[in-house]
Amino acid sequence: MSSQFVVYPNLLGTWSSPPYSVAFSRDNPLYPNGRGEIIMKLVVYKQENNQLWASNYWKFVGDEKWHMEEATGYLLPDLSVKLVESNPTPDIGSSGLFTLVPNRLSKNNVANSYQVYYEGVGRGISFTTSLNYDSASTQDLTPIIKD
């Protein structure tokens, strides 16, 4: 029986989304129209083999303040990613599950773009967007709300 050794790519850094639409359940009093336009930056700040630690920064398009929520997760052998979000922003955040699927891989088995699927079961929030590696990210993510 042969064992397979997986070399996981380095995902450390900032991953940025374009603006995307988020769907909210109709009984969510914070979003009476049932949707919102958001941008996000996922900062992977620690990686040990396939284990990941990240901060999810997000804000409504046009807002200046970023919200921040922590996540932990792992890379799978097919290089998709699962992240569980914890400590949601009080009153507006939602604990949820991120699934990131590589859009395409380079010759070195590295993805610089992921399709994101999010399920926020606590508040009925869901969305899909793409994240691109932002190697030159110097954007100031302050002020950040974290209550």
CA 35 → CA 60, 75, 80, 107, distances in Å?
11, 30, 27, 39
> pTM of the predicted model, to two decimals?
0.81
Query: In this structure, is residue 138 part of a structural domain?
Result: no
Residue 123 lies in a domain: yes
What confidence score (pLDDT) does residue 47 get? Answer: 92
pLDDT by residue for the chain (147 residues), tens digit each? Answer: 455 667 788 888 999 999 998 877 776 666 667 778 899 999 999 999 899 999 999 888 988 888 888 999 999 988 899 999 886 655 656 678 999 998 876 656 566 789 999 988 766 788 889 998 886 554 444 444 433
What is the spatial distance between Cα 98 and Cα 118, in angstroms, rounded to a whole number? 5
Residue 70 belongs to domain with CATH number: 2.40.128
Cα separation, 6 vs 11, in Å, equals 15
Residue 146 forms part of a structural domain: no
Contact present, 83 and 75 (Cβ < 8 Å): no
| pLDDT the model gives residue 145 | 41
Domain count, the chain: 1
